[in-house]
Structure 1
Amino acid sequence: MRAGMPKAGKGQVVGLLGGSFDPPHKGHVHVTREAMKRFGLDRVWWLVSPGNPLKAEGPAAMERRLVAARAIMDHPRVCVTDIEARIGTRYTAETLAELQRLYPDVRFVWLMGADNLASFHRWDKWQQIMATVPVGVIARPGQRMGARMSRAADRFAPARLPIREARSLGRVDAPAWCMLNVPMMAISSSEIRARGDWKRH
């Protein structure tokens, strides 16, 4: 394995939380801890992305976001990584394919907020993503209904696990997904930027 790449043991279940983290905040930390506990994950990797293909404006410098993320997410089983920049992928489907090639003995779970599930059909190769790894969805304030009525939820309705089976998500074969309703922190990166507490440049 190349230097600087995250580590995971054989057979471990690793949750992947992707995003620009521009900036990272306590809501990301809360989602990570809840996902680790409720989905039975051995580790979580924060995939700090070079940029979101669905957003016109680029994020703050990668190194700045990495430093901020590592400062706020202090947990022995969570790794903050720029692996997408290292392996040269930009789209989630590409990233997952490359991670599975690099870590053939690791079981990955893609983590997302319910707001992402509501617009998931806009993602590149979204059906391929669902067919590649199990997906863990964390409900955020005001987004539960939109997620339940989403095109992705409808298309993969037969693959949805009941909440009582959430901890087995990483041990079942894709397609499989589970949505948890958990108390959330009403905070977002866009709100923090709007307040002027985080400058991109």
Structure 2
Amino acid sequence: MVIGLFGGSFNPPHEGHRLVADIALRRLGLDQLWWMVTPGNPLKARNGLKPLSQRIALCEAMASDPRIKVTAFEKRLGTSYTARTLEQVKKRNRHVHFIWIMGADNLKSFHLWQNWRKIAETFPIAVIDRPGSTLSYLSSKMAHGFERARVDEEDAGVLWRRKPPAWTFIHGPRSTLSSTALRGE
């Protein structure tokens, strides 16, 4: 079983999230994609954050593909940092191959995440192109630090077989929608 993990606040979820999900499902050959709706992002202000239950309901309404599973297990686990959450996910699902999915807009600040190197050394990572972030890998500390671990996007379908660190940058259609813009911030 190959599962993509796509985390975020989804505040609100939008067509751009669904586009990233569609690209990940198709290009990575995923059996499932888990939308990990986080209670809050330690790197973002919490003002304007809709209640978790509301964001989950909105995500479920948007996730029309049956392979997409909307989860909020980060809340149940009591973790607030991605590295800790992913550690628990891996520990509880030892026979599953996971790929961490992120938009290219997050690649720029990935080095600010707690234990970001541990994430990259534990999970293959698929970075999906986002408007204005296509060249983010050129200045990303993660991309530079793990340059030798980059997998050509033509081989994205076998990324799950690669021993981490392994990552790829997937180009494709991009949506200009963003949660920040939809909130009017």
Could you say whether these structures have the same fold, taking a TM-score greater than 0.5 normalized by the shorter chain as the test?
yes
Residue 193 of structure 1 corresponds to which residue in structure 2?
Answer: 183
Letter in 1 for 2:135: M
Q: Tell me the CA shift for residue 40 of structure 1.
A: 1.2
Distance in 2 (CA, whole Å) between partners of 1:148 and 1:161 is: 15
Match of 2:18 among 9, 13, 29: 29
Indicate conservation of the 8 Å contact 1:115/1:147, yes or no: no
TM-score where L is the length of structure 1: 0.89
Indicate conservation of the 8 Å contact 1:41/1:170, yes or no: no
Residue 56 of structure 1 corresponds to which residue in structure 2?
Answer: 45
Residue 124 of structure 1 corresponds to which residue in structure 2?
Answer: 114
Q: Mapping of 1:75-114 within 5 angstroms?
A: 75-114=65-104
Check if 1:181 corresponds to 2:171.
yes
State the secondary structure of the residue aligned to 1:161. Answer: coil
Residue 141 of structure 1 corresponds to which residue in structure 2?
Answer: 131
Q: Tell me the CA shift for residue 146 of structure 1.
A: 2.3
Letter in 1 for 2:58: A
Letter in 2 for 1:34: I
Distance in 2 (CA, whole Å) between partners of 1:18 and 1:146 is: 19
Which stretch of structure 1 is more off in the superposition, 12-21 or 58-67? 58-67
Q: Tell me the CA shift for residue 80 of structure 1.
A: 0.4
Q: Tell me the CA shift for residue 148 of structure 1.
A: 2.5
Distance in 2 (CA, whole Å) between partners of 1:185 and 1:117 is: 17
Distance in 2 (CA, whole Å) between partners of 1:24 and 1:87 is: 22
Distance in 2 (CA, whole Å) between partners of 1:21 and 1:169 is: 25
Indicate conservation of the 8 Å contact 1:137/1:178, yes or no: yes
Percent identity at matched positions?
43
Instruction: Determine which structure has more spread, i.e. the larger CA radius of gyration.
Output: 1
Distance in 2 (CA, whole Å) between partners of 1:36 and 1:114 is: 17
Match of 2:34 among 34, 45, 52: 45
For structure 2, list consecutive stretches of 5 or more residues without a partner in the other structure: none
Letter in 2 for 1:20: S
Distance in 2 (CA, whole Å) between partners of 1:15 and 1:41 is: 6
Aligned residue pairs total 184
Q: What do residues 81-100 of structure 1 show as CA deviations (whole Å, max 9, x unaligned)?
A: 11111111111110111001
Distance in 1 (CA, whole Å) between partners of 2:25 and 2:138 is: 22
Which stretch of structure 1 is more off in the superposition, 66-75 or 145-154? 145-154
Q: Which runs of 4+ in 1 moved over 3 A?
A: none
Match of 1:152 among 142, 152, 155: 142
TM-score where L is the length of structure 2: 0.96
Q: Tell me the C-alpha RMSD between the 2 structures.
A: 1.1
Distance in 2 (CA, whole Å) between partners of 1:145 and 1:164 is: 18
State the secondary structure of the residue aligned to 2:70. Answer: strand
For structure 1, list consecutive stretches of 5 or more residues without a partner in the other structure: 1-11, 196-201
State the secondary structure of the residue aligned to 1:144. Answer: coil
Check if 1:73 corresponds to 2:63.
yes
